[in-house]
Amino acid sequence: MAQVVTINAVTRIEGHARIRIRLDDSGTVDDARVEITALRGFEQFVVGRPAEEIPRIVSRICGICPWMHHLAAARAIDGCFGVEPPRAGRLLRELCLVLAHIPDKILHFFFLAAPDFVLGADCDYRVRNVIGLARQEPELAARVARMRRLGQDMLARLGGKAVHPVAGVVGGFSRPLGRDERRELLVDAARLLDFGLFALDFARERVLDQCAAADQPGQVTTGFLGTVDEQGCLRLASGRLRLMRPDGTVREFAAEDYGHHLRELSEPWSLAKTVYAESWGEGFSLDPIAPRGVYRVNTLARLNVCDCIGTPRAQAELQEFRARFGRPAQATLLHHWARLIELVYASERVAELLADDRILDRDVRTPAVPRAGRGVGHVEAPRGTLIHDYETDGRGCITRANLIVGTTHNVAAMNLSVRDAASRLICHGACDETILNRIEMALRAYDP
Amino acid sequence: MKPTFSCEWLHSCAGCEMSLIDLGEALLPLLERMEIVHFPLLMDNKYTHWAGEGGEPELPAADLGLVSGGVANEEQVAVLRALRRSCQTLIALGTCATHGGIPALANEQPQTVIRAAVFADCGPVPLQTPSCLERVYAVDELVQPDLCLPGCPPRPEAIEAAIIAVLDGELPAMFGKSVCETCPTRREGRAATRIARRFLENADGEPNEELAQMRCLLEQGFLCMGPMTAGGCGGSGAPLCVRVRMPCRGCYGPVRPGGNPLLDMMNGLAGQGVDRRSVVDRRSLLRFCGAHVLIRPTPRSR
């Protein structure tokens, strides 16, 4: 008899989701879906608010990546009001954005994902978590927790609060960086870089071979979206969007033009929208054999679309990664590997930004005057390309908002990955706790 | 046997959980004192016998439970009730749980209107999803928590102290002071302007000097919710937003139990001779405390 297997809730992810797998009469997977079960309605309830308040409101979309929402919104409101922040304001924003990637990546890799690899996907669920990891590897766990806290502390020094920051303002930043503060941050940045390199070495030894396995569950062939600078180098803060087809050909566009390339639609089972690449002209389909219009964002996507990385150690890692897995690399669990390469990049970039004396300039904010306008702000969040799009009226209050967050771009691919994992792992209707966890691992790689 | 610990999140952003994890190295010994039985962010306990449609989920019994987020759909109600049933002591963690938080700004409109508007440009509203309540509730409107710990997010050390107090058989005392009472900025006792300035330029004063040298942001004319807002965000130091020269927006909720920050603030401004019409979007003064029917649908949106 036909049967439905439900994983409720998906755990060790950063939000609310469940997985529903439908089996046919013979116990073969017929369909599988990721259901996002919460909607807060930010796009609607920001309407009418004074636009300069938006960065402090939309940060609450995500407590894990509040900086990304905060700064994407600040950039968008710059556009609405037609102000360009001074250079130091832009540098401080980029510093915070890139720095905020570091505790996020530490959290995802070590606290959420690593238990599956270091303790094993089949380990008892009561042990297969960060506490189990800490019991087995107390020194590692202590260092991980300390370094994550260090990153958060640095953010708090720069932006008042690490979680739900306030210093990104329309026109720039709320105050300049002092020379003494900079000196301390540089010392701490060096510690983060040491740790980033250590993390990648640790993972290479203990985890990444499992992510490279050729026949892993969750396989899907898609295009990719990420952000690059004029030279094609990886960017996390602003830049040009680059959309890559599954065959590796790319097209670039400005964030303002996202509506010409990407299209949002709703599926009856999920409160997250689905986005597809409309400009490919092939429509949208979640057919597991021949999906259409499906692309991915997040760490693997960013490494696939960029030509190079502008910092030396991360660039060396990218070359090694590319030599081994090609471009674009498609294996879903490679997100973890790419995540650690980005951890190294972020650490190097933080040090580079702090070393730039121009970041100490006293002029950090261009005063703004409310006006009618449209602004699109975009950054690369840990979970992928983040787009904030607002329009204001003559009083400078929001009249329309559209937000596409990282995980939303990945909804289509996550559905395909979960279906692939379920099809590979469930035979004749038999599935146990370990199989269900392996299916979740295909989703967890996207860090949703 | 170790005390058991359960943690849930409802209509929230995970910021409260981040704050707990921000304890850093201190997190590990804290968690070692307990046995975690349920914590979707960090471990793999599932809701037993609950696919999500109707019925009631079951959660393992716990000596202490934390719940973050307000409540906005039927499933969150079911999870919250299951958590209350299963926990000896339950702490409502963070301003969403205690006052609705930012998501309760949605209470200016019925939830059905919000859903319809969000999906207006991209297809039908998804119907095979948890049905929404008519508004966003705070936790204490539906179950009785043993302690409310506001903050967006609460300080890591405050969460740690609350957990340790419960493990030691106590409930921690609340802070009781307002943000202003913990703010070192210089006050002259009168507002510098008759209109509320929007935060379109940085605060006056030398930004790298001691905060005590800077004039109070409210007196500079910026809307600062410090007088109405529960303090403690900066621990024994200055309020966190003020440290980076930003005015308070009220993220710990009202300092006066049951207070209405909109009314209190407007009265306070009037007392200073500030023109109330210069405050753009007065409703935003309730942005962290829209549950408890403080924010209601306007007649227009009903």
pLDDT band at A143 (very low <50, low <70, confident <90, very high): very high
Task: Tally C-beta pairs within 8 A across A and B.
Answer: 252
Task: Please tell me the predicted confidence (pLDDT) of residue B173.
Answer: 82
Question: Distance between CA B52 and CA A80 in Å, rounded?
Answer: 42
- pLDDT of residue A31 exceeding 70: yes
Task: Please tell me the predicted confidence (pLDDT) of residue A256.
Answer: 97
Strand order in the sheet with A17-23: A3-7, A17-23, A29-36
Residue of A nearest to B43 (CA): A129
Give the mean pLDDT of A286-291: 95
Cβ contacts of B250 on chain A, cutoff 8 Å: none
Which site among A11, A18, A33, A40 would you substitute to test the B interface, given the most B Cβ atoms closer than 10 Å to its Cβ? A40
Closest by Cα among B290, B182, B128 to A41? B290
A302-335 pLDDT tens trace: 999 999 999 999 999 999 999 999 999 999 999 9
Question: Does A146 sit within 8 Å of B24, measured CB to CB?
Answer: yes
- Name the amino acid, one letter, at A345: Y
Task: Please tell me the predicted confidence (pLDDT) of residue B51.
Answer: 66
List alpha helices for chain B, DSSP H.
15-21, 27-32, 74-86, 95-99, 111-118, 156-167, 240-243, 261-271
Task: Please give the angle made by the CA atoms of A347, A116 and A97, to the nearest 5 degrees.
Answer: 25
Q: Which of B106, B117, B124 sits opposite A40 (nearest CB)?
A: B106
Task: Please tell me the predicted confidence (pLDDT) of residue A126.
Answer: 95
Q: Which ipTM was obtained for this model? A: 0.97
Question: Distance between CA A369 and CA A52 in Å, rounded?
Answer: 10
Which site among B12, B30, B43 would you substitute to test the A interface, given the most A Cβ atoms closer than 10 Å to its Cβ? B43
Question: Does B41 sit within 8 Å of A264, measured CB to CB?
Answer: no
A368-418 pLDDT tens trace: 999 999 999 999 999 999 999 999 999 999 999 999 999 999 999 999 999
Helix (H) / strand (E) element for A89: namely helix A87-106
Q: Which of A37, A52, A264 sits opposite B199 (nearest CB)?
A: A52
Task: Please tell me the predicted confidence (pLDDT) of residue B171.
Answer: 85
CA distance from start to end of chain B: 53
Cβ contacts of B16 on chain A, cutoff 8 Å: 63
Phi/psi for B142 (5° steps) reads -120, -35
Closest by Cα among A381, A163, A444, A410 to A286? A410
Q: Phi-psi region for residue B32, left (φ > 0), alpha (ψ -120 to 50) or beta?
A: alpha
- Proportion of chain A above pLDDT 70, given as a percent: 100
Strand order in the sheet with A295-296: A250-253, A240-244, A223-228, A295-296
Burial class (CB in 10 A: 0-12, 13-18, 19+), A344: buried
Q: A51: helix, coil or strand? A: helix
- Contact predicate A83/A170, CB 8 Å: yes
A107-126 pLDDT tens trace: 999 999 999 999 999 999 99
Dihedral sign for Cα atoms in the order A167, A173, A176, A177: positive
Distance from CA of A292 to the nearest CA of B (A): 18
Point out the least confidently predicted range of A163-167, A226-230, B197-201, B256-260.
B256-260
Which site among B9, B118, B199, B233 would you substitute to test the A interface, given the most A Cβ atoms closer than 10 Å to its Cβ? B118
Angle between helices A334-355 and A312-325 (to 10 degrees): 160
- pLDDT of residue A439 exceeding 50: yes
Q: Which two tokens stand for residue B254?
A: 């009202």
A 252-281 → B contacts, CB under 8 A: 263-271, 273
Question: Distance between CA B146 and CA B88 in Å, rounded?
Answer: 9
CA atoms within 13 A on the CB side of B108: 21
Give the mean pLDDT of A200-220: 95
Say which residues have a Cβ less than 8 Å from residue A405's Cβ, sequence separation at least 6: A61, A62, A69, A381, A383, A384, A386
A12 touching chain B per CB within 8 A: yes
Question: Distance between CA B104 and CA B98 in Å, rounded?
Answer: 11
pLDDT band at A38 (very low <50, low <70, confident <90, very high): confident
Question: Distance between CA B199 and CA B245 in Å, rounded?
Answer: 11
Q: B51: helix, coil or strand? A: coil
Q: Which two tokens stand for residue B232?
A: 């403690």
- Name the amino acid, one letter, at B238: A
Question: Does B11 sit within 8 Å of A160, measured CB to CB?
Answer: no
Please tell me what DSSP assigns to residue A430: B
Closest by Cα among B32, B131, B158 to B73? B131
Cβ contacts of B108 on chain A, cutoff 8 Å: 45
Closest by Cα among A204, A214, A192, A201 to A103? A192
Q: A129: helix, coil or strand? A: coil
- Contact predicate B101/B95, CB 8 Å: yes
Task: Please tell me the predicted confidence (pLDDT) of residue A1.
Answer: 58
Question: Does B126 sit within 8 Å of A271, measured CB to CB?
Answer: yes
Question: Distance between CA B294 and CA A325 in Å, rounded?
Answer: 56
CA atoms within 13 A on the CB side of B220: 19
pLDDT tens across the length of chain B (302 residues): 899 999 999 999 999 999 999 999 999 999 999 999 999 999 999 997 776 666 789 999 999 999 999 999 999 999 999 999 999 999 999 999 999 999 999 999 998 889 999 999 899 999 888 889 999 999 999 999 999 999 999 999 999 999 999 999 998 888 889 999 999 999 998 888 899 999 999 999 999 899 999 999 999 999 999 999 999 999 999 999 999 999 999 999 999 999 999 999 999 999 888 999 999 999 999 999 999 999 999 776 54
Task: Please tell me the predicted confidence (pLDDT) of residue B302.
Answer: 45
A434 touching chain B per CB within 8 A: no
Q: Which two tokens stand for residue A223?
A: 């295009």
C-alpha pair distances (Å), A337 with each of A64, B66, B121, B292: 20, 33, 37, 46
Task: Please tell me the predicted confidence (pLDDT) of residue B172.
Answer: 86
Cβ contacts of B207 on chain A, cutoff 8 Å: 175-176, 362
Question: Cβ of A38: how many Cβ atoms within 10 Å?
Answer: 22
